[in-house]
Structure 1
Amino acid sequence: MDGSNSKMELLGWGKSLLIAAGIAVIIRTFLFSPYIVEGASMEPTLHNEEKIFVNKMNYVTSFKRGDVVIIKGPAKNYVKRIIGLPGDKIEMNDDQLLINGEPVKESYLTENRKAAEEMGSLLTGNFGPISVPANHYFVMGDNRLKSMDSRNGLGFIKQTAIIGESEFVIFPFSNIRNVK
């Protein structure tokens, strides 16, 4: 009698662990996942080696200008900010971003813009106007002098290549914060 109870209890635990593991895989694959920032392209918004919590449920809604997203690349993932939406006309002129002919304030660039001015250069080189194709996005890093993005290597990003939106930094614990 003891042997069969023990076997049933072990079977029950195994079943519970299997269900828990299945739920964890589903959550990590389709809903939320941690990612590690690699490099300086998003400084000062995000720093090298920080772990970020990524919301993968954006496939239900569309992404917005200014969202910080994870992009699936051929060899690695990238963290970038969405600048242009499908159909937008993007232009950069003397460090002023123009979208559809309208100037856009990029307050998240203040610190980097000051550093570029001290070096005697523009933070973002002039380009455009260029039109963002349907189902694609134009992305740039916040640290424009050290960022491979839609301007110089990544090109337009297919909507299907966006894994999700960065919600907040989860590590190191001393730097836990929202990423907006």
Structure 2
Amino acid sequence: MSEKIKNEILEWIKVIAIALVAAFVITRFVRPTLVRGESMFPTLDENDYLVINRTAYKIGEPEHGDIIVFGTNLEQDDGKKKDLVKRVIAVEGDHIKIQDSKVYVNDKLIEEPYIHDNYTDGNIDITVPEGKVFAMGDNREDSLDSRYDQVGLIDEKDIMGEVVVRLFPFSKIGVVK
């Protein structure tokens, strides 16, 4: 076999190896997801293409204000389980109270410049138990979230990851907060 063919084969092996390593890293540590619905408007729009950090809560804990993706028992039209995108409002040990459209965490009114229409429906008065978070959409009037029994408090083990980057639309590409 000529030296040129050997070099060509080695180059192909390198390219394939790099592609396999990159695919492994991408599937283990990040995950793409697509926003369905208007529950996170104005922060996120329907069909925004997001990348989530799958390791965020394996090495750390959810924090107030994090935007997370989590699995639910809700079914989509195609019968698959529905993943939701919401913002963490309260973490384990926090006392959350929603009264007169205002949200209090540990008896302090929280600043929420990201919410749509500045209105939060519901009357909640609970302390978040260990291993759970309370999350809501930014568009409170159009969000199925922890205020409702269908979703309820989210088990930390059901959190797939933290949203870190919006990739599409290209005009809005960047870090999401």
TM-score bucket of the superposed structures, by smaller chain: 0.7 to 0.9
Report the counterpart of residue 129 of structure 1 in structure 2.
Answer: 125
Q: What code does the residue aligned with 2:98 have?
A: M
In the alignment, which residue of structure 2 is the partner of 1:101?
107
Cα distance in structure 2, aligned partners of 1:133 and 1:22: 41
Question: What TM-score, normalized by structure 1, do the two folds share?
Answer: 0.83
Report the TM-score when normalising by structure 2.
0.85
The residue that corresponds to 1:168 in the other structure is 165
Cα separation, 1, equivalents of 2:42 and 2:146 = 19
Higher helix proportion? 1
Q: Which amino acid aligns with 1:165?
A: E
Cα displacement (A) at 1:155: 1.1
Percent of paired sites with the same residue? 32
CA RMSD in angstroms comes to 1.9
Residues 34-45 of structure 1: pairs in structure 2 closer than 5 A: 34-45=32-43
Find the residue that maps to 2:28 and give its secondary structure.
helix
1:177 Cα shift? Answer: 3.2
Aligned residues: 168
1:10 deviates by 6.2
Task: Choose from 83, 89, 92 the match for 1:83.
Answer: 89
1:73-117 per-position Cα deviation (integer Å, ceiling 9, x unaligned)? 3402111000110111111011111112221111112x422xxxx
Structure 1 range deviating more: 12-21 or 76-85: 12-21
1:143 aligns with 2:139: yes
Runs of 4+ off more than 4 Å: 8-11
How far apart, in 2, do the equivalents of 1:72 and 1:86 lie?
A: 19
Q: Is the 8 A contact 1:91 1:126 kept in 2?
A: no
Structure 2: gaps of 5 or more residues: 74-80
